[in-house]
């Protein structure tokens, strides 16, 4: 590894983490975070009890009590978040729990709980630079890193205590480890535990085993059929695949105490939950979808609508170049024989182009299937974005090189990188802290997307600027703010004291978060407060949330 | 220069060009372009004697805060564009919209009489000679109506009427993802709900709409509603509406004069969808409005 690249990667990782940690103080708590905050506290309390001797690992009742909450998702990120809070969180300012501050209380509890995901996002950015730089030079690395984290939606999700960017980064790590494992038995051994960590982050990683196996066997078939290389028995099911099949599930299971008892039934519940996931209401070109079939074009159009076209064109270029390399790769006659431990040694094609294309396209293809439950936003194929941005970085450099502009033109490369990353960066900076509702420039930004009838937002998070106005209300209708998110604001002193949640029909103030199907709840507020809100939160003129308040 | 180099240079130029366009567009789209002063100027320019509609739906919350005429339920939850010969439309770079077109129904396009701009806001004034003149509105004077469910006269007035076998409520409902002012009827299976208005000054046509409230209730097709309009005790027209029809219009010809008008709604079977799934006991509630108009050439 180039030492300079390593240092730049480290700097980017730290910079990303710090910017997310500071910037996301402005971002309200999304619905799911409310639940994850509560779960994190319980999981970390169990870990603390077990490690200090106040509890026992084998006490199933205590274990189940701790891990029952939010057991439809694995616990790794939530446990890390809870431990982070125990390390860095201020003491809650308003809560009945007899909890004290963290060991080094330097930030609010929510910020502390978001920190592990932010660090992982930083790690992902550093890794993308490193891989891009190693594969195609530092400017490819810069586009790979920037093309990921500078996307408004990625920047938004990267700062949350959630699993979407963590799983995107975890999948990148597993795929890179898999690539190394084809030529190194040590990486082959490590691959399984890394996959287990990814599965312990979010269920998306469950697709990795089959996908990477498919890629491996494609490489094997390519080497055998095209290059005429003999395939040994050990190559058929080699160490990396076995490691993923055996160590992966074991590590994932070991990291999820909820699964330690009644494993089969609980696993079955877990799979059923995600297989039969409810269909969220999603607006697409003015139509509200909440039942199958979903338009096949949905993830593709939404990707175009939320990722600057410049980066998409570079991604297509990079993927095309990679696939062309795979096909045009000269046959190698002096390849070593593959084995169980080193399945594809030097001389065997690893089909990097195919790997990158598969990892970029699979999440979008999966969501495109009309029978796949609607999960809502672009975050559900966010696992494609690290690979897409890596392809974009490679694409720019390959195009530049192929253009034959000469060595002197290389000095303009930083300008080219700034030009291609600019639209994403501007969108993210200008959209903060509402980037869940940000859209690409060619769509017309949020105004253009609203005109087209694309989803405005979800998760009821855009409330921070409205909180001071709630101080005079006796109670508030929360709409899409989860009660546990309200609880978190209250713990940190951001929610006015003695202002509980109440139904729209009784509360003197009410929140409303704009989505097409939410009109029904806004009408409830109109009955109490009239149709004119007291305050509106907007991104570039387009409302994301309103506060209705009874006029005295 | 090789062909490959030519292609690569063309690709590079194309990508840089797209990036340049995106930079340029970003300067416009990633900033607020509607000022309070623009909205205030639009408010002052609005002729308060004529209704004003919104062409840009997402502008609604901010517009309603600043412009009282847009906050009025008759503007927010209008039934259609009938009975209004002159009106104004406020939009963001838009003088008309799909929603206005839908509410214009089968009338010819309105005549654009004038246009003013305030920043990116456009205030357009229209005339619609075919709008007709409103002579009566069921929702305008709910105290004047009586409600019978299953033959029993219900208690209540003005907003809600209750009987043993059901109830009727004047409300604003979400129908086809738009707010509509209407009378919601909830009767037991097969029990007729009758809304009676005596001594109605009619024009030459009765026009109404029926729709089903709630996006979950419209998830799958549930029981249809049968609507019968009675004029002076004689059943004049009968319609059947399903929840897939959105805000469905209907019209009944009538002789101009004073008549007793009754509208009867029957829903055959309870049961519909809500957020938690299918609810067999939950009523599938049709919501209706009815007006009389004098229309030239009708």
The pLDDT tens digits of the residues spanning A248-284 come to 999 999 999 999 999 999 999 999 988 877 778 899 9
Give me the residues paired with residue A412 across strands. none
| pLDDT beneath 70: ranges in chain B | 297-298
Beta carbons of B29 and A450 less than 8 Å apart: no
Tokens representing residue A503 in the block: 């139904």
Distance CA B293, CA B137 (A): 9
> H/E element holding B148?
strand B145-149
Distance CA B73, CA B172 (A): 8
Helix (H, G, I), strand (E, B) or coil at A237: coil
Q: How many CB pairs under 8 A join A and B?
A: 157
Helix (H, G, I), strand (E, B) or coil at A68: coil
Do residues B104 and B89 make contact, with C-beta atoms less than 8 angstroms apart? no
Backbone angles phi, psi at B77, to 5 degrees: -125, 45
Distance CA B225, CA B238 (A): 11
Beta carbons of A419 and B20 less than 8 Å apart: yes
Contacts of B8 in chain A (CB under 8 A): 399-404
Contacts of A427 in chain B (CB under 8 A): 26, 30
CA A106 → CA A21, A85, A110, A154, B223, distances in Å? 12, 10, 12, 26, 60
Beta carbons of B11 and A317 less than 8 Å apart: yes
Cis peptide before A245 (omega within 30 of 0): no
Beta carbons of B34 and A444 less than 8 Å apart: no
Beta carbons of A540 and B29 less than 8 Å apart: yes
Structure confidence at residue B251 (pLDDT) = 97
Backbone angles phi, psi at B105, to 5 degrees: 50, -130
Q: List every span in chain B annotated with CATH 2.60.120.
A: 134-294
The pairing of strands B272-274 and B234-241 is: unpaired
Mutate to test the interface with A, among B3, B6, B30 (most CBs of A within 10 A): B30
Structure confidence at residue B284 (pLDDT) = 83
Beta strands in A295-399 (DSSP E): none
Do residues A320 and A164 make contact, with C-beta atoms less than 8 angstroms apart? no
Do residues A154 and A182 make contact, with C-beta atoms less than 8 angstroms apart? no
Beta carbons of B19 and A527 less than 8 Å apart: no
Q: Select the residue of B18, B56, B214 nearest A309 (Cβ to Cβ).
A: B18
| pLDDT beneath 70: ranges in chain A | 1, 95-99, 375-376, 551-552
Tokens representing residue A342 in the block: 């080193």
The DSSP code for A492 is T
Top-tier CATH class for B134-294: mainly beta
Tokens representing residue A35 in the block: 């639940």
End-to-end CA distance of chain A: 67
What is the CB-side half-sphere exposure of residue B26 using CA atoms within 13 A?
24
Structure confidence at residue B298 (pLDDT) = 47
The DSSP code for A493 is T
Q: Select the residue of B31, B64, B220 nearest A532 (Cβ to Cβ).
A: B64
Structure confidence at residue A540 (pLDDT) = 97
Distance CA A463, CA A481 (A): 9
Q: Which of A367, A406, A402 lies closest to A383 in space, CA to CA?
A: A367
pLDDT in tens, A463-502: 999 999 999 899 999 999 999 999 999 999 999 989 999 9
Q: Which of A315, A318, A322, A300 lies closest to A424 in space, CA to CA?
A: A315
Structure confidence at residue A370 (pLDDT) = 83
Other CB atoms within a 10 A radius of the CB of residue A14 amount to: 14
Q: Select the residue of B16, B76, B220 nearest A419 (Cβ to Cβ).
A: B16
Q: Does A114 touch chain B (CB under 8 A)?
A: no
Q: Select the residue of A313, A405, A423 nearest B23 (Cβ to Cβ).
A: A423
């Amino acid at each position: 590894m180039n030492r300079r690249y390593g240092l730049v990667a480290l700097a980017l990782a730290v910079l990303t983490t710090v910017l997310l940690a500071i910037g996301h103080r402005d971002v309200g708590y999304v619905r799911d975070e409310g639940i994850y905050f509560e779960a994190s506290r319980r999981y970390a309390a169990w870990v603390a009890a077990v490690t200090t001797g106040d509890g026992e690992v084998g006490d199933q009742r205590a274990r189940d009590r701790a891990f029952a909450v939010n057991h439809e998702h694995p616990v790794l990120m939530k446990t890390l978040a809870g431990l982070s809070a125990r390390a860095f969180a201020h003491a809650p300012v308003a809560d009945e729990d007899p909890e004290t501050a963290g060991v080094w209380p330097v930030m609010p509890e929510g910020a502390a709980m978001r920190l592990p995901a932010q660090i992982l996002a930083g790690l992902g950015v550093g890794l993308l630079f490193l891989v891009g730089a190693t594969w195609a030079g530092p400017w490819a690395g810069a586009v790979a890193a920037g093309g990921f984290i500078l996307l408004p939606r990625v920047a938004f999700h990267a700062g949350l205590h959630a699993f979407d960017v963590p799983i995107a980064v975890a999948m990148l790590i597993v795929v890179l480890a898999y690539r190394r494992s084809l030529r190194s038995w040590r990486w082959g051994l490590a691959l399984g535990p890394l996959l287990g960590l990814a599965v312990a982050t979010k269920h998306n990683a469950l697709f990795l085993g089959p996908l990477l196996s498919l890629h491996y066997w494609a490489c094997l078939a390519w080497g055998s059929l095209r290059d005429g290389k003999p395939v040994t028995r050990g190559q058929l099911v080699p160490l990396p695949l076995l490691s993923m099949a055996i160590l992966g599930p074991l590590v994932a299971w070991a990291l999820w105490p909820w699964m330690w008892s009644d494993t089969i039934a609980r696993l079955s519940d877990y799979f059923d939950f995600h297989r039969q996931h409810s269909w969220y209401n999603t607006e697409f070109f003015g139509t509200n979808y909440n039942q199958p079939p979903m338009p096949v074009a949905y993830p593709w159009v939404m990707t175009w609508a939320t990722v600057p076209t410049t980066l998409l064109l570079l991604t297509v270029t990079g993927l095309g170049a990679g696939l062309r390399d795979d096909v045009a790769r000269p046959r190698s006659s002096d390849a070593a024989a593959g084995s169980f431990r080193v399945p594809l040694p030097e001389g065997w094609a690893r089909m990097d182009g195919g790997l990158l294309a598969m990892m970029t396209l699979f999440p979008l293809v999966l969501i495109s299937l009309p029978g796949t439950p609607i999960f809502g936003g672009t975050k559900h194929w966010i696992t494609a974005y690290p690979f897409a941005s890596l392809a974009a970085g490679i694409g720019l450099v390959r195009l530049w090189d192929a253009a034959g502009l000469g060595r002197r033109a290389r000095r303009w490369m930083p300008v080219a990188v700034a030009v291609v990353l600019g639209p994403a960066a501007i969108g993210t900076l200008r959209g903060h802290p509402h980037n869940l509702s940000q859209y690409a420039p060619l769509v017309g930004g949020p105004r253009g997307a609203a005109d087209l009838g694309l989803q405005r937002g979800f998760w009821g998070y855009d409330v921070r600027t409205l909180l001071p106005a709630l101080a005079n209300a006796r109670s508030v209708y929360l709409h899409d703010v989860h009660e546990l998110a309200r609880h978190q604001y209250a713990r940190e002193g951001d929610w006015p004291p003695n202002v509980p949640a109440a139904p729209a029909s009784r509360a003197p103030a009410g929140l409303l978060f704009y989505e097409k199907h939410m009109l029904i709840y806004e009408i409830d507020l109109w009955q109490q407060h009239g149709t004119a809100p007291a305050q509106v939160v907007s991104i570039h003129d387009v409302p994301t949330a309103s506060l209705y308040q009874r006029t005295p | 220069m090789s062909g490959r180099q030519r292609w690569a240079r063309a690709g590079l130029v194309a990508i840089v060009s797209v990036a340049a366009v995106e930079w340029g567009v970003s300067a416009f789209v990633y900033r607020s372009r509607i000022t309070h002063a623009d909205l205030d100027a639009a408010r002052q320019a609005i002729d308060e004697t004529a209704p004003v509609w919104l062409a840009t739906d997402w502008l609604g919350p901010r517009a309603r805060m600043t412009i009282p005429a847009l906050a009025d339920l008759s503007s927010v939850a209008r039934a259609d564009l009938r009975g209004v010969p002159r009106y104004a439309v406020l939009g963001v770079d838009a003088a008309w919209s799909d929603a206005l077109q839908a509410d214009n129904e089968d009338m010819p396009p309105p005549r654009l009489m004038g246009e003013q701009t305030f920043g990116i806001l456009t205030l357009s004034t229209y005339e619609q000679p075919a709008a007709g003149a409103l002579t009566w509105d069921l929702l305008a004077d709910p105290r004047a109506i009586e409600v019978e469910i299953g033959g029993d006269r219900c208690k209540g007035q003005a907003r809600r009427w209750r009987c043993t076998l059901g109830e009727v409520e004047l409300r604003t409902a979400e129908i086809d993802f738009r707010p509509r002012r209407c009378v919601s009827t909830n009767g037991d299976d097969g029990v007729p709900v009758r809304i009676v208005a005596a001594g109605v000054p009619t024009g030459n046509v009765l026009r109404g709409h029926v729709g089903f409230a709630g996006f979950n209730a419209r998830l799958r097709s549930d029981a249809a509603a049968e609507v019968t309009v009675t004029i002076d005790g004689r059943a004049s027209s009968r319609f059947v509406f399903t929840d897939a029809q959105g805000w469905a219009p209907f019209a009944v010809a009538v002789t101009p004069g004073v008549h007793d008008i009754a509208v009867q709604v029957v829903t055959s079977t309870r049961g519909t969808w809500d957020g938690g799934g299918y609810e067999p006991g939950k009523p599938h509630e049709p919501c209706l409005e009815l007006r009389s108009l004098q229309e030239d050439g009708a």
